Structure 1
């Protein structure tokens, strides 16, 4: 078993600081000192009102929830921290032009000293695409082309690319990322055969959408096999997952029992465990206790 990382999902974390997102950003330096390896933001550029179309059960947030733009907020977090990885789960990449996405991520990687690990996906709400002027159809292919464009612009100057939706010759995009063209990219897509191929061909890891351990284990087996078929090291596969939250005897969500549940994920091959403080606590002290327990969980895996 390799080193397992632990991260905090930042959805709603600012509510533990009276809604002050700047206070939340400053606190993340404390979480870093406590042993947290990464922070993760979720993306919605805009929201339509058809929340009943969310495919994974009741949509967890109200319509007026503030969805911070991930690259902008991660840039602020980069300045407040020194070590934590700056992550998304997911950035709805087709809503952004490919060359702009490449420039945003390269800039963030330079600002942070090479700490970007980006999670990409296609989202679930057609209205968001319509409002952004982006076709809903073909979104998966567009995401793949964006990855190819990013890798080209992070590696070459001048760069050339000719795809279905993006085409250019002798284009320059600086700065190059600190990590070069190998900024880790993870895809938050279901592990169908076609999606397994997309991950193995174009990405470095997988973000399971749900917390079902048998399904995650099956997906990891398929992905490792696909890596081997392509001459890639199956041990290099990155998988970040959120364990199913477990309630304690008092009926409230319990961090310790939830982390007990995370052991099965690690045994299945998950390389990073993520928890959302908003699920377990309502104040800063509780967030710090959760961060400490996550770090203790990580340390326990090394024994």
Structure 2
């Protein structure tokens, strides 16, 4: 698999920005500069127990800090990517991650298929269970059942994406002879990237649904060990991990002046690639001048291509 460079698109902020136009301008710049994939985040609502983000037992990441307060402005990711699709032509459009279980499965299947068709097959659906009880309660869902709800959502999406005359039967949902068109561009549907730690539930989810894996928690902090553990778990479950795509963050190295040292930053890439990272997530610091931001991004893309040649 050809290594790919992904860049987060900032679709949230602590306060309301004066304009949303820079969001689309940044997306267009990433497209022009040659970045392979842009990624947007998801929160539907916030409760007030934001410390849960730092607690692994509730789905958070050890020591993590939520980047905004409860009144942070988080744009809905599939809506954002729909607007971005019209402002770009080649870059892949990804959620990282979408709390898929908060959406009714049939509506999510339709929305994702529509976005995939309009973007000519550029959508990657990164999904996870999340860490926040308040979001599930606001949607009328049981937080304790979030893993089962995600699996159910992905099952329904897969059926509707792949079957012309779709039928489904579970304790909570039954339909027969349902037609949903258009289908996503790829046979089998929109590529799904499953986020999570290395645990039996996530391993089963990756094996069943995952074109890729987005490590979380300790597996993200030490992605080399995380990949080894996930591959071993998949093999033990009887699933070949050979074609699994994996996201890994590229650590930013700084020079003595505090500026990004691009050469040293890219020194980490070959070892990550050898360990199995295929999707390299790079978070460059913002540049106030658009021309400078594009020049920095183009330089990063060129350095990444050289490091992975």
Match for residue 304 of structure 2 among 292, 298, 301: 298
Match of 1:51 in 2: 50
So what's the TM-score if we normalise by structure 2? 0.86
Match for residue 178 of structure 1 among 182, 185, 207: 185
After the TM superposition, which residues 1-303 of structure 1 pair with which residues of structure 2 at under 5 Å, given as runs? 2-11=1-10, 19-55=18-54, 56=61, 57-210=64-217, 215-225=222-232, 234-251=241-258, 256-277=263-284, 279-303=285-309
Higher helix share: 1
Q: Which ranges in structure 1 are unaligned for 5 or more consecutive residues?
A: none
**CA shift for structure 1 position 44:** 0.2
**CA shift for structure 1 position 194:** 3.0
Q: Which fold has the larger relative contact order, with Cα–Cα distance below 8 Å and residues 6 or more apart in sequence? A: 1
C-alpha distance in 2 between matches for 1:30 and 1:120: 26
C-alpha distance in 2 between matches for 1:11 and 1:44: 13
1:212-234 Cα offsets, whole Å, 9 max, x none, are 67832233234334555677653
C-alpha distance in 1 between matches for 2:178 and 2:85: 28
Task: Classify the secondary structure of the residue corresponding to 1:221.
Answer: helix
So what's the TM-score if we normalise by structure 1? 0.88
Inter-CA distance 286–197: structure 2 relative to 1 (3 Å threshold): farther
Q: Contact 1:211–1:241 (CA<8 Å) still a contact in 2?
A: no
Q: Contact 2:10–2:23 (CA<8 Å) still a contact in 1?
A: no
User: Is the deviation greater in 195-204 or in 248-257?
Assistant: 248-257
C-alpha distance in 1 between matches for 2:258 and 2:200: 39
1:260-300 Cα offsets, whole Å, 9 max, x none, are 334432221110111234x4544434432342233123311
Instruction: State the Cα RMSD in Å.
Output: 2.6
Inter-CA distance 249–212: structure 2 relative to 1 (3 Å threshold): farther
C-alpha distance in 2 between matches for 1:141 and 1:285: 46
Task: Classify the secondary structure of the residue corresponding to 1:181.
Answer: coil
C-alpha distance in 1 between matches for 2:12 and 2:41: 12
Q: Which ranges in structure 2 are unaligned for 5 or more consecutive residues?
A: 55-60
1:129-186 Cα offsets, whole Å, 9 max, x none, are 1112121121101111111111110111221112243322111211111113232101
Task: Classify the secondary structure of the residue corresponding to 1:161.
Answer: strand
Inter-CA distance 34–14: structure 2 relative to 1 (3 Å threshold): farther
C-alpha distance in 2 between matches for 1:127 and 1:213: 25
C-alpha distance in 1 between matches for 2:174 and 2:265: 47
- Length, aligned pairs only: 299
Match of 2:58 in 1: none
